[in-house]
Structure 1
Amino acid sequence: MAFYEVYAHPALLRYRTTVCTKATLFVVAVLCVTYTAPLLVAYRSHGFWLKRSSYEEQPRVRFQYQLLLIAATSTNGDYVAWSTFSNFNSLQGNNLRIPSVSAREEDQNQDGKLDRLNLQLELPLRPEEQIYSVQLLVTFSYQLFRMSTVVMQSLLLLQYSSSVPGSQLFISGDLRLHQREPLLHRGLDTRYNVSLINANSPFSSSYDLAQIIEMYQERNLTTVLSSPNPVWTIGRAAAAPFQLKAVIRYPVEVISYQPGFWEMVKFAWVQYVSVLLIFLWVFQRVQTFVFQNQVLPTVSVPLLKQHCA
């Protein structure tokens, strides 16, 4: 008569011993090594606690229609200037030139956030005047919302100089966020929501570009023009104005921030468990070998026999 298997199940054995035996000490030592060694391995891998993380966000940027322009008309210190600040203009005297300015911000992908600024400035000049260098200070409102809420005012300095007088400067680049320290993971940050240009001041020192930029660079959050591509055009007609055209894009930023408590715990837990599984697998087989082969004397009791008793 042929036999075939109708059912199968594993046989469970329990290994028993008294308290003060080598087998007991072995089990305690295995448990300690199994659960503490993965913690040491994960910690010594220099990445157990997540101290800094990052995310992507496109900031909300708005041009504030505040400009300060200084253009050198010779190599011996002559210049013309203009700004949207009336007190600055009143200090310029004969050096004041009032340009025509047009600005247009675009939302190219229709996501509700502006993507670029098209700025055009035409500076009228006298027939004998030539432009050798240009410095243009532009202000923006800059906001982040995804993690911590950041509201600040930022600056951008567009500048170019040449030994040959020009008729037009075209410059294109990205408005990039520069961080000296990571942001918090939540909360409201309005430390830098103040203007660095005192428009009410009647003193020329308040509009000094070197001083303004020096104060601005002391901040932990600033904006810079990344990958600028200036094009300097020469050959201006006597009656033609000097033209400055700028295209400034507002790209998606990679923001660095300090993770919160639960995010750090989650990151540490994932690392600990991934190492723990390896130790559990290894020491499970070590214990099976030790007790099946009676390396340490114990009493084996089949589970089914115990139930019958």
Structure 2
Amino acid sequence: MAFYDVYSHPALIRYKTSVCTKATLFVFVVLCLTYISPLLVAYRSHGFWIKRSTYEEQPVVRFQYQTLLVAATSTQGDHVAWSTFPHLNNMLGANLRIPSVSVREDDQNQDGKADLLVFQLQLPLKPEEQVYSVQLLLTFSYKLLRMSTVVMQSLAYVQHSSPVPGAKLSVSGDLRLVQRTPLPHRGLYDLYNVSVIDGSSPFASAYDLGNIVRSYQERNLTTVLSCPMPVWTVGRAAGSPFQLNAEIRYPMEVIRYPLINAKGCYSLTSLLSHNYTLL
């Protein structure tokens, strides 16, 4: 038995609502979590596979007023010396020369941090003495505060020699930070906050320049004086002192630090505290 379609009528049902509803908010949140949050994480981490990063900071540097000076007065090994360490001065005997020293630290941009050390020294000499080489050690207190708190004692080494006796040595350079390993991104790092020169030691070996420099270079964090063009002036008048003028700047440094911890995981603190620049 056949059936016939006598009558049909389609039904259209519409559901209407406003934009500002909980459903719209839910969809927006889901979209953000799906697309935007991974982009933000990738941007803030500057790449998921980078293990180290850098930041810039001007260190807080203070001259410690500890000095050791050795000047060769002949080509046969004769020398005169002076230091701020009483034990060494007592051992020098007739080789001791007490110089006139002037020190000034300038804060050129008025930000509370010293930018420049001006060190001037006049070394008295006998009429028959001439200066053929100069070695000078200056010690500093060095601090970094932006990420981890780094506190250490460092030095600057000034050295110059010439076959022609000189009247004056002028140096102008930067006290640069040398990192062999990245610094931690947080916490206190004071492993090298010890005196570079043991001024309390009564032994001559504690003041030997070779021993001091060798022990200092064994550290993973040091400073070095970058002075590409020392100026050696000849023609010293009889009876006049030998002059040494040094201008040492404390520049902005690029500090390396790890983005992952010892367990191989990215540190959330290092990611959030680092300022990235979108290129």
TM-score normalised by the chain length of structure 1: 0.70
2: CA distance between counterparts of 1:238 and 1:87? 31
> What's 2:54 paired with?
54
Matches for 1:30-69 after TM superposition, within 5 Å: 48-69=48-69
CA contact (8 A) 1:50 1:264 kept: no
The size of the alignment, in residue pairs, is 223
Unpaired runs of 5+ residues, structure 1, are 1-41, 267-309
Aligned residues with identical type, % of pairs: 68
CA 1:86–1:132 in 2, change beyond 3 Å: closer, same or farther? Answer: same
CA deviation map 1:90-136 (0-9, x unaligned): 01010000001000000000011000000000000000000000000
Query: 2:139 matched to 1:133?
Result: no
Give the partner amino acid of 1:246: A
CA 1:265–1:60 in 2, change beyond 3 Å: closer, same or farther? Answer: closer
Query: 2:243 matched to 1:243?
Result: yes
> What's 1:201 paired with?
201
> What's 1:190 paired with?
190
Give the partner amino acid of 1:177: L
> What's 2:77 paired with?
77
CA contact (8 A) 2:185 2:270 kept: no
> What's 2:169 paired with?
169
Matches for 1:229-240 after TM superposition, within 5 Å: 229-240=229-240
CA contact (8 A) 2:100 2:121 kept: yes
> What's 1:217 paired with?
217
CA contact (8 A) 1:130 1:165 kept: yes
> What's 1:262 paired with?
268
Which of these two proteins has the greater Rg computed from alpha carbons? 1
Give the partner amino acid of 1:104: R
2: CA distance between counterparts of 1:248 and 1:200? 27
Of structures 1 and 2, the one scoring higher in RCO (CA 8 A, sep 6+) is 1
Give the partner amino acid of 1:147: M
In the TM superposition, residue 227 of structure 1 has moved relative to its aligned partner by 3.8
Query: 2:160 matched to 1:154?
Result: no
Which structure has the highest helix share of the two?
1
1: CA distance between counterparts of 2:206 and 2:252? 33
1: CA distance between counterparts of 2:163 and 2:197? 30
CA contact (8 A) 2:106 2:115 kept: yes
CA contact (8 A) 1:49 1:264 kept: no
Unpaired runs of 5+ residues, structure 2, are 1-41, 260-265, 273-279
CA contact (8 A) 1:174 1:228 kept: no
Q: Equivalent residue of 2:205, what SS?
A: helix
Q: Equivalent residue of 2:214, what SS?
A: helix
CA contact (8 A) 2:149 2:188 kept: yes
2: CA distance between counterparts of 1:62 and 1:56? 19
TM-score normalised by the chain length of structure 2: 0.77
1: CA distance between counterparts of 2:70 and 2:56? 36
In the TM superposition, residue 73 of structure 1 has moved relative to its aligned partner by 0.2
CA contact (8 A) 2:70 2:135 kept: yes
CA deviation map 1:24-78 (0-9, x unaligned): xxxxxxxxxxxxxxxxxx9xxxx63221100000000000000000000000000
Q: Equivalent residue of 2:213, what SS?
A: helix
